[in-house]
Amino acid sequence: MRKMSIAAYAKRFLAYLGRGSALGVLATALFNLGFAFGQEALSRQQPAFHANARIVLIDVVVLDSGGNPVSGLNSLNFRIEEDGREQRMTSFEEHRLLASSSEAPRKFRLPPNQYTNVPAQESSGPLTVLLFDTLNTPAPDQESARFAMLNFLKGLPPNQRVALFTLGSRLRLIQTFSGDTEVLAAAASRLLASPSPLLTTESDRQHQDDDIAYAARMAAPTINMAAGASSQSIPSASSARPVFAEKLRDALTEQDNSSAEKRIGLTLQSLAALAQMLGGYAGRKNVIWVSGGFPFGIGPDPFAHSEHSHERQFDAVIRQTANALSAAQIAVYPIDVRGVRTQGVALSSNGEGASGVDSATGATRLNGMLMRQLTESSDEHATMDDIADQTGGKAFYGTNDVRVAMERSMEQGSTYYTLAYSPENQNWNGKFRRIDVKLNKGGYKLQYRRGYFALQEPEHSNTDSTRKLVAAVRPDMPDSTSLYLKAEILPPDASQRQVRISCLIDAQQMTFSDSQDGKKHAAVDLLTVVWDKSGKDVGHSAETVETNLSAEEYRKVLRSGLQVNEVVPVSGDAYRVRLGAVDRPSQRVGTIDVNFDSSAPGAH
């Protein structure tokens, strides 16, 4: 095993961290999962779909005519088709929501100074993530959504595991998975409305229309010509107004497009980070996306129902994100917090932008505004349906009871079937492949993801790993679980001003390739950062571990894991340690978060 230092890791990370340290990152809640760990947990393999995997997983929710989940079906009831060709099912499993227990789930107890990111497997049903989107939601709607979330969380059954995230300038963890309704409600109550600087609302557009109409009118006042003056020498108001209004409108549109581009990028980053974080948890994960706007879909044409159809530079990233959500078995339930929407002039508008006739089109401005509102509403609903269809969830819009929509999302995702098949078409050309699941019984509705992109596995460099690790090891990010880690982390003491780490990486989740000499080669990049209580970096370490294992060494590592030892000198009081590792070929990431001030040994 050969170690190779990567100084660029630390340099790039510190530069990145410097921008975030002023944001009060240590005020963010730590990712306090209760983890289970044993050798059987370390080598536990969860099936996953990859962009170029030879196995495709589909979680199927079967609903009766009343929208209630149906259980008790078997593999003979289902048939799978890909692009119209029937596929042979290779595995089948039913998942049911077990009766809730008043007892808290048992968690593994770790020895002192030992930590892991292996999720505790509880039997109270699929994981649920509430994603509160402030980036794409008008501030007034955020407050009503927060109230609906509070009522929803207070009514959860015992030990139903739910986590709360916010999507703003980046993904933020507010409360890790918990079955304690009081803890979850307290976390939600701390959320405050936060106006998005990148969002242009309908009210904003009407104000812009008012300003354009007013500016055009003032730019070309009526001119009383003196007797004998030539009418051809003075430009008329009617010709000046449309030119001025068009230029002003173009400038505002360009500004809106720039903001929309940033919102799309930030939303994609957050969804990808969420997939990375949830990837290690077994089974289906239901993400309830509470928002007032959905800037893109994730199907074959992500901007088919969007005013941002020009944003084609995001197509490749959207495909990768869609496959990442599939790999993590994430079903998205988009909920429009704006409820039943009405068309008309906003109360805050002076109405000038909706009065008179648009000189560019000849249509009345009011009719143009109403048509825009209807089109945007229809397109947004179609985008929400696309997100739900491509992940196996369901979209909820046109209802003022957001709490009920959240409850239905959780209920419908509680019972499901996991089907797997190996595609007959092994040409990984990047095209979208449509999946059809059919049931031999009538009267039921099926919810499942409608396809995937047949992407080839890309080759990743240490630069790609750097980006992954820098994002995953940020102090305000939750633990990533796609690569299982167990570590003994010893704090500094009077004799040694250093953090000592002995880390075990689950080799069954690593990617090994055959080298020319017949040995098994793998590459794992690691990054460790130590902070004091004020959030100052007091020590860090970055390296790459490459292996060339004989057949016997390879079998041993598969059984026991790949061990890596690190020593991180510190220049101050060590309060918090973040350890991250990424398997370079697959880009699976695992992180461990340790707070030395924790009163419970072995707990985060």
Q: What is the pLDDT of residue 80?
A: 97
Give the tokens for residue 128: 């649920």
Whole-number pLDDT of residue 253 = 78
Instruction: Please check the confidence at residue 99 and state whether its pLDDT lies above 70.
Output: no
What's the pLDDT band for 359 if we cut at 50, 70, 90?
low
Q: By three-state DSSP, how is residue 504 classified?
A: strand
Residue 402 CA to residue 396 CA, distance in Å, equals: 8
271-297 confidence digits (pLDDT tens): 998 998 888 787 899 999 999 989 888
The residue range of the domain holding 12 is: 2-47+460-595
Segment 368-384 mean pLDDT: 85
Residues 6+ apart with CB under 8 A from 389: 299, 449, 450
Residue 180, classified by CB atoms within 10 Å of its CB into exposed (0-12), middle (13-18) or buried (19+), is middle
Q: Residue 132: beta bridge partners?
A: 166, 290
Percent of the chain beyond pLDDT 70?
80
pLDDT of 360 reads 65
Over residues 590-599, the mean pLDDT reads 79
Q: What is the mean pLDDT of residues 446-463?
A: 84
Whole-angstrom distance, CA of residue 123 vs CA of residue 586: 29
Q: What is the mean pLDDT of the chain?
A: 80
The torsion angles phi and psi of 481, rounded to 5 degrees, stand at -125, 15
Q: What is the pLDDT of residue 519?
A: 93
Compute the CA torsion angle 590, 596, 597, 598 (nearest 10 deg).
Answer: 50
In this prediction the pTM is 0.74
Residue 531 has a pLDDT of 93
End-to-end CA distance of the chain: 30
CA 166 to each of CA 11, 130, 336, 476: distance values in angstroms, whole numbers, following the listed order: 29, 8, 15, 12
Q: For residue 250, which phi and psi values (nearest 5 degrees)?
A: -60, -40
Q: What is the mean pLDDT of residues 76-88?
A: 97
Residue 109: predicted pLDDT: 77
In percent, the amount of the chain with pLDDT more than 90 equals 39
| Confidence band, pLDDT 50/70/90 cuts, at residue 86 | very high
Q: Is the CA virtual torsion 245, 246, 247, 253 positive or negative?
A: positive
Residue 399 lies in a domain: no
pLDDT at 103: 52
Q: CATH number, domain at 586?
A: 2.60.40.10
Buried b (16+ CB within 10 A) or exposed e, 381-406: bebbbbbbbbbbbbbbbeeeebbebb
DSSP per residue, 112-169: TTEEE-PPP--SS-SEEEEEEESSSS-HHHHHHHHHHHHHHHHTPPTT--EEEEEESS
Residue 140 has pLDDT above 50, yes or no: yes
328, pLDDT greater than 70: yes
In a domain, 16, yes or no: yes
77 vs 223, more confident: 77
| Contact criterion met (CB below 8 Å) for 149 and 130 | yes
Q: Could you tell me if residue 80 is inside a domain?
A: no
More confident residue, 279 or 323: 323
Q: How much is the average pLDDT of 382-397?
A: 93
Sign of CA dihedral 233, 234, 235, 238: negative
477 pLDDT band, cuts 50/70/90, is confident
- Bigger pLDDT: 364 vs 504: 504
Q: Which amino acid is at 419?
A: L
Q: Which of 1-10, 58-67, 76-85, 284-293 is predicted least confidently?
A: 1-10
Could you tell me which of 365, 443, 345, 411 has the C-alpha nearest to residue 152? 411
pLDDT of residue 601: 35
Q: How far is CA 304 from the centre of its chain?
A: 21
* 3-state DSSP assignment of residue 521: strand
Span 339-352, average pLDDT: 79
Residue 544: strand, helix, or coil: strand
pLDDT attached to residue 489: 95
Decide if pLDDT at 603 tops 60.
no
118: pLDDT confidence band, cut at 50, 70 and 90?
Answer: confident
Looking at per-residue confidence, does 524 or 216 come out higher?
A: 524
Is residue 474 in some structural domain?
A: yes
pLDDT number for residue 51: 35
Distance CA 116, CA 488 (A): 9
Residue range 542-570: mean pLDDT, rounded = 94
In terms of Cα–Cα distance, which of 544, 543, 539 is closest to 498?
A: 539
Q: What is the pLDDT of residue 310?
A: 59
At residue 548 the predicted structure's pLDDT band, cuts being 50, 70 and 90, is very high
More confident position, 474 or 223: 474
pLDDT exceeds cutoff 90 at 245: no
CA distances from 531 to 427, 512, 570, 571 (A): 48, 34, 9, 10
> Are the C-beta atoms of residues 485 and 505 closer than 8 Å to each other?
yes
pLDDT on residue 7: 41
Q: What is the pLDDT of residues 176-215, one digit of tens each?
A: 888 788 888 898 888 877 788 888 877 877 778 787 777 7
**pLDDT-derived band at 427, boundaries 50, 70, 90:** very high
Beta strands in 506-599 (DSSP E): 513-514, 520-531, 537-549, 562-569, 576-583, 588-595
pLDDT at residue 9 tops 70: no
Six-digit token string for 227:
């007797």
Cα of 311 vs its chain's centroid, Å: 20
Length of the chain: 604
Residue 452 counted as domain residue: no
Average pLDDT over residues 535-560: 93
Q: What is the dihedral of CA 356, 360, 366, 371, to 10 degrees?
A: 170
Are 145 and 302 a contacting pair, CB within 8 Å?
Answer: no
Is there a domain that residue 465 lies in?
yes
Give CA–CA dist 168/21, Å, rounded.
Answer: 17
Tell me: pLDDT of 437 over 60. yes
Give me the pLDDT at residue 54, please: 66
**Bigger pLDDT: 281 vs 42:** 281
Instruction: Answer yes or no: is 89 within a domain.
Output: no
Domain count, the chain: 1
Residue 34 in any domain: the answer is yes
pLDDT on residue 10: 41
Q: Is the pLDDT of residue 442 over 60?
A: yes
Q: Tell me how many degrees the CA angle 503-507-512 measures, rounded to the nearest 5.
A: 130
Q: Are strands 498-505 and 485-490 parallel, antiparallel or unpaired?
A: antiparallel
